[in-house]
Amino acid sequence: MSRLIKITNAIGVLCACLAACGQARADDSDATDRLVRLERVLGSFASDARKARLSAALAQGTVSTATLVPGVLLDRRNDSDLQLLGVGFIVAGSIQLAMTPLFLIPSPLERIRTRLLEGIASSESSAALADRIEADLREAAKHKSATRPYSGGTSLLLGAASFATGMTFLFTQPGVAGMGSRTQHIWGAALVGVGAPFVQMGIRSLLQRSAEEAAWSSYHAESAGR
């Protein structure tokens, strides 16, 4: 009888071990599937973000140069109206040129993908890596979604205020805040040049979803569809 009990217990332990092994294999398979989906989504969106970032840097640098050169040439003319136009060009081009290096900084999405590849290369546990990268992507998307309306709205408001003030200085009679004609027009041209890029950035930020938001939405939809 005792022998039968021992056999029964052994069978129970064996079944428990087999169940645990099966569950472990299932968990490992699920983690691997998640990593595959993360790599696919991050690879696609990070690549697009990098291309867009470098294209924007090239375009920004080109436009700023194309704006600065005529501005400098116009500022050297003897015609005061052309000089004012040149000041506006110089200010706008300088701002765009100063902002160009920002486009060379890798985006959060690119950094998340880098951490994923580093984790894979270091043989990190599939489950732990999938959990960590998934949390990083979710938090990045959440942060962008929460801050984008404020940053975009602030940029738009400041840009619009600067642009409107500059236009007012340019098209009203001299004497605003006690300024002479030339000073007022120089300030007007400068404020218009400052405001226009910020209006553009604000509108784009408000209307265009970030790469992090798009990537998380795609990953979430793909995971839910499985």
Running along the chain, 226 residues long, what does each successive block of 10 average in pLDDT? 50 43 52 88 89 86 84 82 78 82 89 92 88 93 93 93 89 81 79 83 89 90 72
> What pLDDT sits at residue 155?
93
What's the rounded Cα separation, in Å, for the pair 22 and 16? Answer: 10
Q: How far is CA 114 from the centre of its chain?
A: 16
Query: End-to-end CA distance of the chain, in Å?
Result: 50
> What pLDDT sits at residue 78?
82
Q: What is the CA radius of gyration of the chain?
A: 29
Neighbour-count burial for 190-217, b at 16+ CB within 10 Å, e otherwise: bbbbbbbbbbebbeebeeeebbbbbbbe
> What pLDDT sits at residue 26?
43
What's the rounded Cα separation, in Å, for the pair 193 and 89? Answer: 7
Q: 3-state SS string over the chain?
A: CHHHHHHHHHHHHHHHHHHHHHHHHHHHHHHHHHHHHHHHHHHHHHHHHHHHHHHHHHHHHHHHHHHHHHHHHHHCCCCHHHHHHHHHHHHHHHHHHHHHHHHHCCCHHHHHHHHHHHHHHCCCCHHHHHHHHHHHHHHHHHHHHHHHHHHHHHHHHHHHHHHHHHHHHHHCCCCHHHCCHHHHHHHHHHHHHHHHHHHHHHHHHHHCCCHHHHHHHHHHHHHHCC
> What pLDDT sits at residue 22?
43
Structure tokens of 206?
């408000």
Structure tokens of 68?
């600065």
